[in-house]
Amino acid sequence: MKAEKCIEIFEKAINSYHIADDVYQPFTNLFEEGTIENVMYLKSWIDTVQWHYEDIIRDPNIQPEAGMDMKRKIDKSNQHRTDVVEQLDDYYIDLFKDLNPEPNAKLNTESPGWVVDRISILCLKIYHMQEQVDRIDTDEKHKRQCLSKLTTLLEQKEDISKSFNDLLSEIEKGEKKIKVYRQMKMYNDDTLNPVLYKK
């Protein structure tokens, strides 16, 4: 799946979330279970909900108990996000499993799944920067600054889309190879985090 299709799915998820615009709303995937589209949609939904968790926890008047609850939600969301990125890497590994890379094939600094992660977050930045441009309760200076940032984000979207598509093409030609290092996060693992395993 190339960048353009990923972006199309991410924008569907972001727009669907913002109909209710509520972090506690039920999640419904628009795509059939077992498909890569389903995983891409889930990825964007997780990112979108977490985006709003991050807004909520920065409320200077948030009560400590509510803040701690939100921090735990963010931690859980981060783990879910990582798990889904690894599912995406599994998809791309499987997609190219029958190819034989050239002996001098190079590695990319990021796996395809983590590039997709960056595209998903970029789509969220664009959506929310457009919101700022469209606000009617701000002055012209704010709008100009946000429009400048939005222009940069849109350029970045073009650049990362081309880079991602080039990466997939280079893998297909054997010029680059996929090598995935699992995240191996330790803080959520009760056998690796000393605060948890010493309890």
At 17-56, the pLDDT tens digits run 999 999 999 999 999 999 999 999 999 999 999 999 999 9
pLDDT at position 141 is 96
pLDDT band at 187 (very low <50, low <70, confident <90, very high): confident
CB of 116 closer than 8 Å to CB of 37 = no
DSSP 129-183: HHHHHH-SSS-HHHHHHHHHHHHHHHHHHHHHHHHHHHHHHHHHTTSEE------
- Residue 163, pLDDT > 80, answer yes
pLDDT of residue 156: 98
Strand partners, 176: 106
Per-residue pLDDT at 114:
95
- Give the model's confidence band at 94: pLDDT under 50 very low, under 70 low, under 90 confident, else very high: very high
pLDDT at 184 over 80: no
Beta-carbon contacts of 87 under 8 Å, excluding residues fewer than 6 positions away, are 39, 113
Q: Specify which residues 107 forms β-bridges with.
A: 177
φ, ψ for residue 105 (rounded to 5)?
-60, 140
* Residues 30 and 41: beta-carbon distance below 8 Å: yes
Q: What is the pLDDT of residue 189?
A: 73
**Torsion of the alpha carbons at 49, 120, 11 and 177, rounded to the nearest 10:** -140
Q: How confident is the model at residue 121 (pLDDT cuts 50, 70, 90)?
A: very high
Q: Which residues contact 153 (CB under 8 A, 6 or more apart)?
A: 122, 125, 126, 129
pLDDT at 196: 75
Q: 45-59, 127-141, 152-166, 180-194 — which is least confidently predicted? A: 180-194
Please state the φ and ψ torsions of residue 150, each to the nearest 5 degrees: -60, -40
Mean pLDDT within 93-115 = 92
Please state which of the ranges 63-72, 134-143, 146-155, 184-193 shows the lowest mean pLDDT: 184-193
What per-residue confidence (pLDDT) applies to 182?
A: 76
Residue 124 pLDDT: 98
The pLDDT of residue 191 is 82
Closest CA to 10 of 161, 165, 116, 159: 116
Total-model pTM: 0.91
